Amino acid sequence: MQNTDSDIARAGEILRGGGLVAIPTETVYGLAANALDGTAVAKIFRAKGRPQDNPLIVHISHLNQWERLVSEIPENAAALAKAFWPGPLTIILPKSDIIPDEVSAGLDTVAVRFPSMRTTRKIIDAAGVPLAAPSANLSGSPSPTCARHTMEDMRGRIDAVLDGGECNFGVESTVVTLAGPVPRLLRPGAVTPDELREVLGGLEIDDAVMGKLKEGVKAASPGMKYKHYSPKAEITIVRGTLVDFLKYIGKAGDCGEPNGKKFALCFDGEESVIPVNCVTYGKKDDPLTQSHRLFTALRELDERGAERVFARCPSTDGVGMAVYNRLLRAAGFSVVNANETEE
């Protein structure tokens, strides 16, 4: 369906009736169900093939809907909401009794977001209930950033997809937990650590954000422990300059990979000097263009039959941290410094 008022009203009816609708947001497409109905929420896990221990984010359309979802709203949470809501920030707090176990996956906390995209808020209003909505991809594949990608993954598994065009930001929300002793970043997104620190004072960055969790360490954000966002190809992130990159892929070419299946995931404009197939993911010094393109680029690699991919490494500053975090998972944590051996 499109995003006319009557389509939005119909989506609201389906959601109220316990169905599943994929919806656009400013981050990625979400797979939505009534967050207060455990049976409806359980269908999300089945449609996505999502591990049962991975909790969902609850989406609201007015600030006053937050209060009944959590046990209380501390001052620092209210300050974050004032600074960044509506927008791509998810805040975790101890949950209230109305949150079904299916949403929190057995944890005693709940993640809440107030999205900025008008269509998303209209759909929540039309449903008349808060919506649990993880990204609308099959578990493990790149998050969808347009209706076509959503259909590719969800056809035959859900009741409807509402087409609201391309997602503006393109990677998932920043997730911060205020349920522990110190505010902690669990997932980087469009709202950066520096912006959060300005409001919160202190902020810890969870170990899972920039690297792989060590064996046996419990993930603070269950979603971060899974291999994620992965196309079929084997990806390696290559740290270094463009010149280092060219040298590195030249050498890697000698290892016998057939050139037709070998790809570079590079920045705009670099295609002309890279002697293998290229898929671009934004401008080198502009992380917002990278976040907008990344998941589409990962899907494009699959569509073009890529088997081996060497990726240019983004800067990890600001919004770049979100881009690097997703690319790192897509690469199964395979990173090399050009001129050195694989880690």
Interaction site with ligand AMP (CB under 6 A): 54-57, 92, 104, 107, 109-111, 134-135, 172, 175, 186-187, 221-224
Distance CA 212, CA 208 (A): 6
Q: Token pair for residue 343?
A: 């880690």
Decide whether 135 or 296 has the Cβ nearer to Mg ion. Answer: 135
Applying CB under 5 A, the span of 8-16, 63-71, 130-138, 191-199 interacting with Mg ion comes to: 130-138
Decide whether 186 or 249 has the Cβ nearer to ligand AMP. Answer: 186
**From the CB of 244, what's the least distance to Mg ion, in Å?**
32
Sign of the Cα pseudo-torsion (295, 301, 307, 309, in order) = negative
**From the CB of 223, what's the least distance to Mg ion, in Å?**
6
Longest dimension (CA), the chain: 61
150 binds Mg ion (CB under 5 A): no
Decide whether 40 or 249 has the Cβ nearer to ligand AMP. Answer: 40
Decide whether 174 or 280 has the Cβ nearer to ligand AMP. Answer: 174
Decide whether 134 or 183 has the Cβ nearer to ligand AMP. Answer: 134
Q: Are 318 and 198 in contact (CB under 8 A)?
A: no
Q: Which does 145 bind (CB under 5 to 8 A by kind): Mg ion, ligand AMP, none?
A: none
Decide whether 127 or 246 has the Cβ nearer to ligand AMP. Answer: 127
Q: Residue 161 pairs with which residues in a beta bridge?
A: 22
Q: Which does 224 bind (CB under 5 to 8 A by kind): Mg ion, ligand AMP, none?
A: ligand AMP
Pairing relation of β-strands 30-34 and 57-59?
Answer: unpaired
- Chain centre distance of CA 5: 27
Output the residue with the shortest Cβ distance to Mg ion: 135
**From the CB of 145, what's the least distance to ligand AMP, in Å?**
13
Burial of 268 (0-12, 13-18, 19+ CB in 10 A): middle
Q: Are 325 and 174 in contact (CB under 8 A)?
A: no
Distance CA 291, CA 82 (A): 25
135 binds Mg ion (CB under 5 A): yes
* Number of Cβ atoms within 10 Å of the Cβ of 71: 14
Half-sphere exposure of residue 83: CA atoms within 13 angstroms, side-chain side = 18
**From the CB of 208, what's the least distance to ligand AMP, in Å?**
9
**Residue ranges that bind Mg ion, judged by CB under 5 A:** 135
